[in-house]
Amino acid sequence: METRREAGGGGTVPAALVTHLHRDHTDAAALAAALTPGAPVLRPAPGHGDDVDNVTTLPAERELTLHRLAAEVVDAWSTRDLGPFRVTAVPAVDGLGDPQLNWVVQADGQRVFHGGDTMFHGYWWLIARRFSPFDAVFLPANGAVVDAPHLQPPSPLPAAMDPRQAAAAAEILDARYAVPMHYEAEQPDKIAGYVEVSDPENEFRTHAGHRAHVLPIEEWLDLAT
């Protein structure tokens, strides 16, 4: 007998915010285990073009369907209230051309930003005018240069922010804490031809100064202190 998990699982998480549908950012099995039944999975639109164009997003798309998650496509600048949280999808730019959103989450007078693996772009100032200051911003800092078979000829430029760009975004967003992320050497499903900067943590500290807060895996950042 073949069975499929109903929308959501036995978890306690009331909603999920998806930045983009690369499998290292959208793990449908993990979402299904963590979410309450019927919990919304707020996500960007499907990729543009054909199966070749969407080769990096199709696996996650299939898995969201397989786990029967309650995925909802949302537009940039749209806001939802989810229990005590107010969440707003804001613009982001994906280095591989796939749709991406970033997220502003507000609750109890505190505000955080999650940057997926966006590139540096011109929306930072619009986001800052609407939402800054931020208590914490989580920003990609690996500066990955990507040579993917479906993106030829390859770009020699970073497909996600490097440490200096992440530090600049943190300053624009007026962040109290700037937490670098997306720079672990061993990432699931990393494609061939994916080369990161050599020392993102220390380079980010250099550029971000007093805002920099490197957060080890499984460690919490208490914004009340």
Give one DSSP letter per residue of 9-54, joined into a string.
-S--B--EE-S---TTT--HHHHHHHBPTT-EEEEPPPPSSSTTTT
Per DSSP, the three-state class of 90 is: strand
Q: How far apart are CA 18 and CA 37, in angstroms?
A: 17
**Is 204 in contact with 163 (CB distance < 8 Å)?**
yes
Helix, strand, coil percentages for the chain (3-state, nearest 5): 20, 25, 55
pLDDT tens, position by position, 49-96: 899 888 888 899 999 999 999 999 999 999 999 999 999 999 999 999
What's the pLDDT band for 194 if we cut at 50, 70, 90?
confident
Q: Collapse the DSSP code of 165 into the 3-class scheme (helix H, G, I; strand E, B; otherwise coil) and give the result.
A: helix
CA separation for the pair 8, 171 (Å, rounded): 37
85-91 sheet: strands from edge to edge: 79-82, 85-91, 101-107, 110-114, 134-140, 175-181
Under the banding of pLDDT at 50, 70 and 90, the label for residue 24 is: confident
CB 166 within 8 A of CB 178: yes
Of the chain, the end-to-end C-alpha distance in Å amounts to 52
For the chain, domains (ranges, CATH) are 16-211 (3.60.15.10)
- Tokens 């998806």 correspond to 18
- Candidates 134, 124, 123, 120; CA nearest to 163 is 120
pLDDT of residue 52: 87
**Residue 65 belongs to what H/E stretch?**
helix 58-66
The answer to whether the predicted template modeling score (pTM) of the entire model surpasses 0.85 is yes
